[in-house]
Amino acid sequence: MKAYLDKLGSFGSIITAAACPACFPQLAALGTLLGLGALSSYEGQIFLATKILVVLAIVGHVLAYQTHRLVWLVVSGAGGGVLFFLGMYVFDSEGVIYLGLVAMLLASVTDLVRRLRVRRRLRLEANPE
């Protein structure tokens, strides 16, 4: 579970943000596409869930650093989460919030692809057919 904590937080925060069109209007189209418009009456709870998932993603990226030791990956992942909160509470900027979400998402996808490649290479080395 620890290996995928950052992915759960990153992808989950994007999905919950898309379910809250009043909070994140640029993601409203994604939320509508996924059928999340029915959850609009729960925007307060969804907004809180988004923040919790961003914190989970930050923790996951920091824990994942112990495995991959790639500084740029933890800076982009955890830094994206920090950007999310800075954009929300310090700069009051939607652009910074979205930049943080995108940075977390890209770091999670990059780490997932890297892990799958390593796993595949190890499997091929163990069973050279």
Q: What is the pLDDT of residues 91-116, one digit of tens each?
A: 989 999 999 999 999 999 998 899 88
Residue 83 has pLDDT above 80, yes or no: yes
Which pTM value belongs to this model? 0.85
Q: At what angle do helices 71-89 and 94-126 cross, to 10 degrees?
A: 160
- Digit-coded pLDDT (tens) for 18-39: 888 777 888 888 888 888 878 8
